[in-house]
Amino acid sequence: MLPLATLWQIARRDLATRIRGLRLLAVCLFLGVATLAAIGSLTRGITSELEVRGQTILGGDVEFSLPQREATAEEMAGFRRVGTPSATVRLRAMANDPDGEALLSELKAVDGVYPLYGTMRLDSGARRGPPPPGGIWIGKDLVSRLGLKVGERVKFGEKSFLIDGVIAEEPDRLGEGFTLGPVAIIGLADLPATQLIQPGSLYESKYRVRLPESANPEAVGKALTAEFPDAGWDITDSSNGAPGTRRFIERMGQFLSLVGLAALVIAGIGVGNGVASYLAGKRPGLATLKVLGADSGTVARIYGLQILAVAAVSIALGLIVGALAPAIIGAIAGDVLPVKPGVAIYPLPLAVSAAYGLLIAIAFALPPLAATRHVPAAGLYRATVSGAARVDRQTVIAVAAALAAIIALAVGTAREPLFALGFIGAAIGLLLILVGLGWLVRRTASRLPRPKRPLFRLALANLHRPGAATGALVVALGLGLTLFVTLAAIQTSITAEIQSTVPQRAPSFFVLDVPRTETRRFQTMVAGADPKAEINMIPALRGSVTEFAGQRVDELAELPEGAWVLRGDRGLTYSPVLPNGSELVGGQWWAADYKGRPLVSVEQEVATSLGLKIGDTLSVNVLGVEVQAKVASFRTVNWDNFGLNYVLVFSPGTFDAAPHNMVATVAVGPEAEAALSRSIPRAFPSASLIAVRDVVSQVTTLLTQMSQAIAAAASIAILAGIAVLIGAIAASRERRVYDSVILKLLGATRGQILGAQGMEYAVLAGILAVLALGLGLAGAWYVVTQLFEFDFAPDPLIVGMTLLGGAGLSFLIGIAGSWPLLSAKPAQALRSL
C-alpha cells in the first residue's frame, strides 16, 4: 500500500488536470448543505435570541397572568415578598379620533416601575414608567391610520388622552402575543376613568416580577401557586417568554429542514451521476494505473481522495453560506421575523449539516467508485461497450450504513421524531417508486415489437440498450416534475383558502364586550342599519382548565401532545342549543331548559388529545372560582367560517354567578358596515369592534410568508432535481458520443440523431408527468391538510400548466445536453474510445 502522502500527490496532480468533471458533485453538495445550514442556523438564531432576551421579552423573570380580574392585596403581597412586581392591564378597545373615526387598538395600562427589563423608546427618546397623567403613547399604525400626531387628542372609552409620544420600541411586545390592532399605552392610574373595565369585561392583568439573581423562577412560580391554589393564574418564566413564537419557529424550522434534507438526498443522486461521469472520463487513467501495477484498492483510494477533497470544499462553502444566512436574512427580511437573529456562529446546525453532506457524499459516490475495483485494465478500456461493473457486498453494506446514519441523524435531531420518520419514509418511498418505474420502462421497452421506421426503432432501443441511462433519467425527471406539481398545488390551495373561502364565509365584524343588559339595543341598532343583517350573540368568559379526567394540570410533568387548551386561559361560553358550525359526534346535547349539574361539550380533537371519555370531569377556573363539569358530548367544529364557536361549551346556568358580557358576529352590507363602524363605538364605548378584513389581512400575511418559506426551500430541491437531470445526461454522454459516431458512420443525419433522443426524452417526460401528477398532489395534500389544516383545493389550470412547463423544461434540458454530441468528430471520438 502506498503512503497516504504519495496517494494524495497522485490524486492532486490528476485532479489539477481535469477538475471539471466533478463540478456537478460540488454544485449538488453545496446546494444541499447550504440550504440545511441556513435553515438550521436561522432557526437556532431566532430561538437563541428569544432565550437571551427572555427577561426583556417577558418583561420580568416570571409572569403571573390573570384573566378578567386584578390581583388581590394578598397576592400582591406575595409578589412583593419574592421580588419587585410590575403590574400591567391589557385589553382591546376602540381608539376614537376627534373626527369620529374609530380603530380597534390594544390598550395597555402600565404602572410606575414599567418596564422591569429593557427600555421603552419613543420617537423622542427613551422613557421609563407610564406616560404623564392624562397622557398616552400610541403606535405608529395608529398614527398613520387615524392621521394623529403628538399634541392631539384620542379618546378611549369615556376618557380623552393627550398624545405624548409615538412608540418606537416596546420592549415586551413579543411576549404580549398576537394582537389585532396597534398598541396604545396609558398609566394604570388613568384606566378607571375610561370605564372600559366593567363586570364581565374581557381583559388580562399581568404581574411581572423581577427576582433576585439567586432565585429560581420556576420554583418561585410553584411556591406562589401552592400558596394561592385558587388564583387561576397562568405562569410563564423568562426561559420561554414567547412560547407560541418559539413553538412556531421550531416546527417550521423542522419542516423546512426536512425539505432541505430531501433536497440534499435528491442532490445525492446528482453526486452519484457526477462521480460516474467523472470516472467514465478518467477511464484511460484508471486503466493505465492498473497496467503499471497499481492494485484496485490503490486506484480506488486515489480517486476517492479526489472526490473527498472536492466534497470537503463544497461542504465548507455550503457551511459558510449557511452560517452567514441568519445575518443576511435578518438584514433583508428583518420585519418579517419575530426577532432578528443574533450575529453569531451556531455550531450544532452547522455540524449536523456537514454530517449530512459527508454521509450523502459517501452513500452516493461509493457505488460508482467501488465499481472500478472489480474491472481489469482491459475491461476499463472497453467499458464503453461492455457496460458497468458490479458493486461488491462491502460497498452495499457501507452505503446502507451511511443511509441508516442519515435517517438516525434526522430522527434524532427532530423536534417530532415520528413526523420526521414519516417524512423520510415518504421520500424513500418516492425514490423506490421511481427506481422501480425506471426498471419497468426498460423491461417494457425491451419487450415491445420493433418499429419499422429507423428513427422510432432507435428511440425505443435507447431506452433499454446496455448501459442506457433510463433509470437515472426516470429518477431525475420524476423528482423534478413531482416537486413542480407539489409546489404548485400547495401555493394554489393556500391562495384559494385565504382569497376565496374565507371572504365568502366571514361576517363583517366581531364585537366584543357588549353588555348583557344592552343586547336588545345592540340588535336594534344593527337591524336599523341593515334590515337583512345576520347577528349571532353568545356569552363570553375567560378561564383556564385546571383538571381533566381526574388529573390536575399543575401536577403534570409534561402536557399531552396536542393539548394546547391547557396552556393559559381560554374562551368559554354556555348555550342551550348546539352552536352554529358544530356537529355532535359523541354523547348527547342537553335540553334547552336544562337545570342541573354543570355539563360541558368538548371539541373532538381536544378531547382526543386529553384522552377524555363521556362522563369524565373537566374543571375550569373562572375569576378565581373553580367550576367542575361532567363531559356530556363531543363535537366537530367548522372553524374556517369566522363564526362564533368555542372548544368548551357549557350547559346553561353554569356561570350565572360570574359577571360576563356578550360577543357578537355581525354580517351586513358594505354601506351598513361603514355606518356601524362609526356608530357602534360611540353607542357602546366599552365594546370593541374587530373588522374581519383586518383579521383576514393578518392571516393572509402570515400564511403568505409561510408558503414563501416553503417555496424557497422547495426551490432548492427543484434546483437539485435539475442538477440531477444534468448529471444523468452527463453520466451517459460518452456512451452517447459512441452511439452518435457509429450512427454518423452508418449515414444518419444530425436531425435524425437529435430526433431519436428527443423522442426518448418526450416518452419519459410523458410517462413521468402522469406519475408526478399523482405523487405531487398526494404530497401537497399532506402539507395543506395536515400542516396548515386547510381544505385541499389546488387550481387545476395552474397545476397543469406548471406540470407542462416542468416537462417542457426537462425536455429542453435533455435536448440541450444532447446538442454537443452532434459536433463530435468520428475520427477523434473513435481514437478516444
Q: Is 758 left (phi over 0), alpha (psi -120 to 50) or beta?
A: alpha
Percent of the chain with pLDDT over 70: 78
Percent of the chain with pLDDT over 90: 16
The C-alpha atoms of residue 576 and residue 171 are separated, in whole angstroms, by 44
The C-alpha atoms of residue 716 and residue 336 are separated, in whole angstroms, by 21
Q: Kindly tell me the burial class for residue 432, based on how many C-beta atoms sit within 10 Å of its own C-beta (0-12, 13-18, 19 or more).
A: exposed
The C-alpha atoms of residue 519 and residue 542 are separated, in whole angstroms, by 20
Rounded to 10 deg, the angle between the 519-529 and 670-683 helix axes is: 150
Mean pLDDT of 662-687: 85
pLDDT higher than threshold 70 for residue 514: yes
Highest mean pLDDT among 60-64, 267-271, 826-830: 60-64
CB 573 within 8 A of CB 538: yes
Confidence (pLDDT) at 420: 74
Q: Which three cell numbers stand for residue 320?
A: 459558510
Mean pLDDT of 722-742: 65
pLDDT higher than threshold 90 for residue 634: yes
The pLDDT tens digits for 188-214 are: 999 999 988 877 778 889 999 999 988
Pairing of strands 569-574, 648-650: parallel
Single-letter amino acid, residue 380: L
How is residue 589 annotated by DSSP?
P
Rounded-to-5 percentages of helix, strand, coil across the chain? 60, 15, 25
CB 171 within 8 A of CB 120: yes
Mean pLDDT of 582-604: 92
Confidence (pLDDT) at 631: 94
SS3 12: helix
Confidence (pLDDT) at 629: 94
The pLDDT tens digits for 135-176 are: 999 998 888 888 888 999 999 988 999 999 999 888 888 777
Confidence (pLDDT) at 217: 86
Beta-carbon contacts of residue 304 (< 8 Å; ≥ 6 apart) = 369
Q: Which three cell numbers stand for residue 211?
A: 427576582
553 compared with 720, residue with greater pLDDT: 553
pLDDT higher than threshold 50 for residue 385: no
pLDDT higher than threshold 60 for residue 501: no
Highest mean pLDDT among 131-135, 418-422, 739-743: 131-135
The pLDDT tens digits for 100-128 are: 788 888 999 999 999 988 889 998 888 88
CA–CA distances in Å: residue 318 to residues 28, 35, 313: 10, 8, 9
pLDDT higher than threshold 70 for residue 272: yes
328 compared with 777, residue with greater pLDDT: 777
Mean pLDDT of 618-626: 88
Confidence (pLDDT) at 189: 92
The C-alpha atoms of residue 725 and residue 733 are separated, in whole angstroms, by 12
The pLDDT tens digits for 175-194 are: 776 677 789 999 999 999 99
CB 98 within 8 A of CB 82: no
pLDDT higher than threshold 60 for residue 439: yes
The C-alpha atoms of residue 758 and residue 737 are separated, in whole angstroms, by 15
Single-letter amino acid, residue 803: L
Confidence (pLDDT) at 820: 65
CA gyration radius, the chain? 33
Residue where the block lists cell 385558587: 230
Strand partners, 90: 108, 204
Mean pLDDT of 727-750: 67
The pLDDT tens digits for 13-60 are: 766 656 665 777 787 788 778 878 887 887 777 777 766 677 787 888
Query: Nearest to residue 540, comparing CAs of 563, 517, 515, 565?
Result: 515
Query: Nearest to residue 326, comparing CAs of 356, 355, 357, 349?
Result: 349
CA–CA distances in Å: residue 824 to residues 387, 423, 510, 731, 829: 21, 45, 73, 17, 7
CB 353 within 8 A of CB 40: yes
Mean pLDDT of 572-600: 90
CB 701 within 8 A of CB 788: no
Confidence (pLDDT) at 817: 67
CB 728 within 8 A of CB 476: yes
SS3 208: strand
Confidence (pLDDT) at 735: 63
Confidence (pLDDT) at 506: 63
Question: 616-620, 702-706, 788-792: lowest mean pLDDT where?
Answer: 702-706
How is residue 341 annotated by DSSP?
P
Q: Which three cell numbers stand for residue 720?
A: 437539485
Confidence (pLDDT) at 517: 85
Confidence (pLDDT) at 824: 62
The pLDDT tens digits for 339-378 are: 667 667 888 889 988 998 888 888 888 887 777 666 665 5
The C-alpha atoms of residue 476 and residue 431 are separated, in whole angstroms, by 10
H helix intervals, 198-242: 217-227
pLDDT higher than threshold 80 for residue 427: no
Longest CA–CA span in the chain (Å) reads 102
The C-alpha atoms of residue 426 and residue 786 are separated, in whole angstroms, by 15
Other beta carbons within 10 angstroms of residue 675's beta carbon come to 16
Buried b (16+ CB within 10 A) or exposed e, 257-286: bbbbbbbbbbbbbbbbbbbbbbbbbbbebb
pLDDT higher than threshold 90 for residue 660: no
Confidence of residue 388 (pLDDT cuts 50, 70, 90): very low
Confidence (pLDDT) at 386: 47
Chain mean pLDDT for the chain: 80
CB 68 within 8 A of CB 202: yes
The C-alpha atoms of residue 291 and residue 376 are separated, in whole angstroms, by 9
Peptide bond preceding 560 in cis form (omega within 30 of 0): no
pLDDT higher than threshold 60 for residue 428: yes
Q: Which three cell numbers stand for residue 328?
A: 443576511
Confidence (pLDDT) at 256: 66
CA–CA distances in Å: residue 48 to residues 42, 45, 596: 10, 5, 51
Q: Is 276 left (phi over 0), alpha (psi -120 to 50) or beta?
A: alpha
Q: Which three cell numbers stand for residue 463?
A: 431506452
pLDDT higher than threshold 80 for residue 619: yes
pLDDT higher than threshold 60 for residue 503: no
Which helix or strand (DSSP H or E) is residue 801 part of? helix 796-818
